Structure 1
């Protein structure tokens, strides 16, 4: 069945290309590229943390996490059309400083499109290196010090990517909490993916309770960061910052936000239950909800930046994340089967 995912992805991409204007398709592709890149990077982060701390959870989730990290080349390739078409994606590209708000005009040196394209290429190369080390035997050779170094490089690189390819679409908004929220969301999604792979495998189901506790912890961290950003920005009462939230509370986007938060709250409540976290199916269901919740949150953060996204449910965005997801999952499944780590995925 797995070999069919690549042609299915091609068909989905072809349908995606014919659904609307190329600008709308590319901006939907931003959402898809961010999501699947985040899952691969989150898996690499968890593998590097395990290289430092050890623990049975890393041994149990290792196959799924290594497969997700090994799929990073597919996610990296998805960024190429975005890099090449960057001049047409950003509202400030090619504009005169006098035509832009003062807060944006001051950032134009950093926001130069050529500089942004170069940064993106460098960041993707760093991501490929991090995932390659995390998914392979080099993780043991590098040891705890090497893993810690790669985690610091990751923190710097993911901040650049989230600023350049999310915040830069609305350059008047600025939040130091935004990159940590984005990075933590990727780790939550990777933890959910690794848990689902463990649940689908024949062995180590007794470790699912540990996975439930780890998902509980990461989901709580993500919720805390989301709440603190909202609290600080709303308390500051600055128009250019509050406008970011107002844009995402209109036309049904507010409902989407509460759905994403509500799903995470349900998972936290479920995994805090001693009885539910001992049930493999309950832990797997919680993981599926977390994975979906992170996709919804990322869509909520990215879609309102574009004028084309006027509908609450946008078919182009949905098809983009599915098309790239099919190719990404095929690559991850291939890695699992080549290693022989999961017998029934």
Structure 2
């Protein structure tokens, strides 16, 4: 029954895309970015855990390996975005000279998206075997994907730390997903592991806040109009409310998890769930304002529906993987 509902919702979005391709394309982009952030964040942890000894290996390894299995879905998640490129990316209808024109050509964009998905799946096969080489390759792949999928949405906007923003979110989402898995799988988690998970989440939250603030500070200190407009559209109207929700939510998670009671299981579980929900909010915040500078309720609602359909699909995939692993044991 759940599969039929998921299929019906997906088909409904496809049919709606014939009427509003821009809304569906933007929503699919936000949902694909959110889904890939979780999968790539788990892949980052899966590559990292074999290289560092300690109590956090058995804590994060099962959930991170499960989450990283979804990297195979990166290409299918971005297929609706590739189909609706003319309504999503402003450079699609403009030819630029030289290397910029080649890089921002539709066929090369499609090729790079397929390459990012293929490389992610390749790195998934390197877990535990060539993890060090995988980490070296992970950083440029994730950074270039962030530039292509999100930074290119707004003409003239350039940020040297934009890729790091997405890597910070991927790390945070990966920790939250792996932590939520181990919390759900264990009725009682040892106190040491609760303290360890709380420390990792607080560190990742602080890192996310730091890199976000550094980009904000640098852009406003340089004060170039073609760059400051990226924040201006996110500080007014409905997008301003979304910005406030994202910043306040991240700060609340940091304060609650860093508090004396932040190592309790129910607090950690709530914190991990809130971080993943805020990741979905951030993917909308990063994509939609650049496409629709004036907040559009229809586009926002379509993005939320796309997030739901993608989340249901990912959950079904992870559930099948988990059941298969339990059966193999």
For normalisation by structure 1, the TM-score amounts to: 0.87
Aligned match of 1:293: 278
Query: What runs of 5+ residues in structure 1 fail to find an aligned partner?
Result: 98-103
Per-residue CA deviations over 1:144-188 (Å, capped at 9, x if unaligned) read: xx2121112111111111111111111310101111101110121
Q: Structure 1 residues 154, 336: CA separation in 2 closer, same or farther (over 3 Å shift)?
A: same
Q: Structure 1 residues 275, 310: CA separation in 2 closer, same or farther (over 3 Å shift)?
A: closer
Aligned match of 2:118: 125
CA distance in 2: counterparts of 1:230 and 1:61, whole angstroms? 32
Aligned match of 1:233: 219
> Are 2:88 and 1:89 aligned?
yes
Aligned match of 2:26: 27
Matches within 5 A, 1:188-337: 188-202=172-186, 205-206=189-190, 207-277=193-263, 279-307=264-292, 310-311=295-296, 314-337=300-323
Secondary structure of the structure 2 residue equivalent to 1:340: helix
Aligned match of 2:45: 46
| 1:166 counterpart (147, 150, 173) | 150
Q: How many residues align?
A: 323
Report runs of 4+ in structure 1 exceeding 6 Å deviation.
Answer: none
CA distance in 2: counterparts of 1:281 and 1:188, whole angstroms? 19
Aligned match of 1:100: none
> Are 2:170 and 1:186 aligned?
yes
| 1:15 counterpart (3, 12, 19) | 12
- Do 1:188 and 1:218's aligned partners in 2 also have CA atoms closer than 8 Å? yes
Q: State the structure with bigger RCO (CA 8 A, min sep 6), 1 or 2.
A: 1
- Do 2:42 and 2:171's aligned partners in 1 also have CA atoms closer than 8 Å? yes
Residue 248 of structure 1 deviates from its aligned partner by: 1.0
Secondary structure of the structure 1 residue equivalent to 2:10: helix
- Do 2:22 and 2:84's aligned partners in 1 also have CA atoms closer than 8 Å? no
CA distance in 1: counterparts of 2:249 and 2:23, whole angstroms? 28
- Do 2:45 and 2:60's aligned partners in 1 also have CA atoms closer than 8 Å? no
Residue 127 of structure 1 deviates from its aligned partner by: 0.7
Query: What runs of 5+ residues in structure 2 fail to find an aligned partner?
Result: none
CA distance in 2: counterparts of 1:194 and 1:14, whole angstroms? 31
For normalisation by structure 2, the TM-score amounts to: 0.91
CA distance in 1: counterparts of 2:291 and 2:82, whole angstroms? 18
CA RMSD of aligned residues (A): 2.2
